[in-house]
Amino acid sequence: MARLSSFMTVSLDGYFADANGDMRWAHNADPEFNEFVAGNARSGGVLVFGRVTYQMMAGYWPSPTAAKNDPVVAERMNALPKVVFSRTLTEAPWHNTKLVTGDLLAEVRKLKDGSRDNMVILGSGSLVKQLAEAGLIDELQIVVAPIALGDGKKYLGGIRERLPLRLMTSRTFGNGSVFLRYEPRR
């Protein structure tokens, strides 16, 4: 059975996007952090997205700019299998992408049961919230960026019940970001 992880960058005050939906503040890279991200990209698996994140990623990673600025990550993002969950998209043209329009929870259960390849949700705050509430996420990987936004889209905002977690690892980067890896306590 495949494991499902979430990878999200959040502000110190817990937002994954500012009040205007902007996430550019999250790109506080340095060589050490860039190598960490490239290492994650090399590890493979299936990338999972909601519609908004998919459209943002599909608009950037296949571009010449992405290939020039971050060739390792761009190559992996374009090559890896991808799944996008959407009720409104009619096509998903980014190379190696499967569009899933059915019931989110049922479809994720089928994907987890039918695959040996681990999956990682990149961004996709609404998707993460729904899957975490349903107990379908096996690991939360969170990068806390050294910035407070004051308002925006809250990571795991609006969950109906507490989600007890156990810290598995942490790492601090020279850019001030902190990586935290949690597993739900079941």
The DSSP bridge partners found for residue 75 are none
pLDDT tens sequence across 153-164? 999 998 999 999
Q: Which domain holds residue 21?
A: 4-174
| Residue 1: per-residue pLDDT | 86
186 domain-assigned: no
- Could you tell me the CATH number of the domain that includes residue 127? 3.40.430.10
Q: Pairing relation of β-strands 139-145 and 178-184?
A: antiparallel
185 domain-assigned: no
68 domain-assigned: yes
Cα angle for residues 45, 50, 52 (degrees, 5° grid): 125
**pTM of structure:** 0.91
32 domain-assigned: yes
103 domain-assigned: yes
**Cα 76 from Cα 126, distance rounded (Å):** 24
Is residue 11 a contact partner of residue 148, using CB atoms and an 8 Å limit? yes
Categorize the per-residue pLDDT at 26 as very low, low, confident or very high, splitting at 50, 70 and 90. Answer: confident
Residue 166 pLDDT > 90: yes
Give 47's contacts (C-beta < 8 A, 6+ positions apart). 77, 80, 81, 82, 83, 119, 120, 122
184 domain-assigned: no
| Residue 29: per-residue pLDDT | 73
Residue 31 pLDDT > 90: no
Categorize the per-residue pLDDT at 113 as very low, low, confident or very high, splitting at 50, 70 and 90. Answer: very high
179 domain-assigned: no
Categorize the per-residue pLDDT at 24 as very low, low, confident or very high, splitting at 50, 70 and 90. Answer: confident
How many domains, in total, are found in the chain?
1
181 domain-assigned: no
Supply the mean pLDDT for the chain.
92
H or E element in which residue 67 lies: helix 64-69
Rounded average pLDDT over 90-119: 93
